[in-house]
Amino acid sequence: MTRWWMLALLAAAAPAEGQQLTLGEALARAGRGSFSNRVADGHAVVARSQGTAALRGILPTVRLETGFMRTTDPIGAFGTSLRQRRISQADFDPARLNYPAGTDNYVGSVIVEQPLLNADAHLGRAAAGRAADAAREQWSWTRIGTRLEVIRAYYGAVLAAEKERTLAAAHRAAQQHVTAAEAMQRQGVVTKSDALLAAVKAGELEVQLVEARGEARLGMGSLALLLGTPGDTLRVPEQLPGTAVVRRLLGGEIPGEARARADVRAAERGLGAARLDVARATSLHLPRVNAFGRYDWNSADSPFRGDENWTIGVMASWTVFGGAGEWAERQAAGGRAVAAKAQAEAALARAELEEAQAENARQTALLRLEVMERGAQQSAEAHRIVARRYAGGLASVVELLQAAAVETGSALALSHAKYTGIVVEGERRRAAGQDPAALAQAMESEIVGLSR
């Protein structure tokens, strides 16, 4: 029954065959199945376990012991009989004391040990807690990075599909040019070279189209791999969002700052953990106080039988010199603290630089989008003008083919500019410490707003 429920849930989570995968669905699937996210999940569990392991020096230890012993040692035999409450007057016979018969003893014990004053354990626990916090922030940063990669791969697949569609249209137009040139050649309007040049251009476009189809397949494969489902059949939109949508996204304000980023917080938590670890290593020179208590049963027949004995006590110990091991540990902890401080400073400096780079990329993307949109409109109009002139015999086939090539190149450049703008927006959000996954909702809102 459990297997059927799991299969039903997986079927419900996956898009139906032929259904278009949205960016939101891709992000959700990557959150569940991405390989990098699953690795980060495992590392986060390991980091949390370190904090639990540090409780060994704080919480009590309870254990059970049992065993069997047979002895003819005079002191051991007499002590065993005394523990078993079997001493009688006859046991004080000198011959029996000196040469006792073999004495059997089953022992059963319950031992409780409670640390009372172990400074290194408490400081180690605090350091492990900070390290777990750092791992949690790093886990969050990994998932944010995965979401950005999903955005790149998702719209990269859409870009490849749009490129394939653009080249397919250009190839059809080139074939029409070939047909028209051949017809005009038969009529004696143009020379044979016009038809041959048109056929050459159509062949070049066919090669580019085949290459684009391969890129589209590889793009879908890369997206499936990133989602944690390699080999899965996916379907994405064949067209990128319009330039107006991308422009409005790039023009919006992004609240946040570099210091709020998860990777910077992870480095700061790591520095805090390293400093606490220095204090832990230093506390190894302090005394320790531990309490203990035990119940023992001694019997000649079986474990945990007979009368019980109890013992409680407190033990203080102070290792004045431990062979320089404590000194070495303190030096190592100090070195880790120095490295952690440098990492924290580097993380903040890198975040501030990436924030500045993202702003520069945003301005560049906006300008590129404007230029490429204008260029696509102008090249399309130029192609129409040259096509009319060619039909009237006022332009050569070379001019016509060049105009068609410029129009195709401008359309592809505009597509790439839109893709770059989307990716830049995702990078800008991550650089500011925001979640790039919000880009899916923001883009949907922009599309709805422009359609009204």
| Total tally of structural domains belonging to the chain | 2
Query: Looking at the structure, do residues 52 and 155 belong to the same domain, yes or no?
Result: yes
What is the residue range of 225's domain?
18-60+139-266+346-451
Residues 243, 174, single domain; the answer is yes
Angstrom distance (rounded) from CA 236 to CA 25: 11
Q: How much is the CA Rg of the chain, to the nearest whole Å?
A: 39
Q: Are 66 and 107 in contact (CB under 8 A)?
A: yes
Positive or negative, the CA dihedral 164, 167, 171, 176 is positive
Is residue 373, in this structure, part of any structural domain at all?
Answer: yes
Is residue 283, in this structure, part of any structural domain at all? no
Residue 447, pLDDT above cutoff 60: no
Min mean pLDDT across 132-136, 329-333, 336-340, 387-391 is at: 387-391
* The pLDDT of residue 297: 93
Query: Are residues 97 and 171 located together in one domain of the fold?
Result: no
User: What was the pLDDT predicted at 252?
Assistant: 78
On the CB side of 73, CA atoms within 13 Å amount to: 8
Q: Is the residue at 322 inside a domain?
A: no
Supply angle C-alpha 353, 356, 361, rounded to 5. Answer: 120
Sheet holding 308-317, edge to edge: 61-71, 103-117, 288-299, 308-317
User: Cα-flanking dihedrals φ and ψ of residue 135, to 5°?
Assistant: -65, -35
User: Which has the higher per-residue pLDDT, 382 or 401?
Assistant: 382
Q: Percentage of the chain with pLDDT > 90?
A: 39
Query: In terms of domains, do 35 and 52 share one?
Result: yes
Q: How many CB atoms lie within 10 A of CB 253?
A: 6
Shared domain check, 166 and 104: no
**In a domain? residue 25:** yes
SS3 64: strand
pLDDT in tens, 342-375: 999 999 999 999 999 999 999 999 999 999 999 9
323 within domain boundaries: no
pLDDT at 7 over 70: no
Largest interatomic CA distance in the chain: 141
The structure's pTM equals: 0.79
pLDDT of the residue at 342: 96
For the segment 406-443, what is each residue's pLDDT rounded down to a tens digit? 999 999 999 999 999 999 999 999 998 888 888 887 77
- At 445, the pLDDT band (50, 70, 90 cuts) reads low
Residues 400 and 438 in one domain: yes
Average pLDDT, the chain: 86
Quick one: 108 and 243 in the same domain? Answer: no
33 and 47 inside one domain: yes
**Looking at per-residue confidence, does 448 or 22 come out higher?**
22
User: Same domain, yes or no, for 56 and 68?
Assistant: no
Distance CA 339, CA 329 (A): 15
Report CA-CA distances (Å) from 272 to 125, 263, 284, 340, 343. Answer: 13, 14, 19, 9, 12
Question: Are 99 and 151 members of one domain?
Answer: no
Percent of the chain with pLDDT over 70: 93
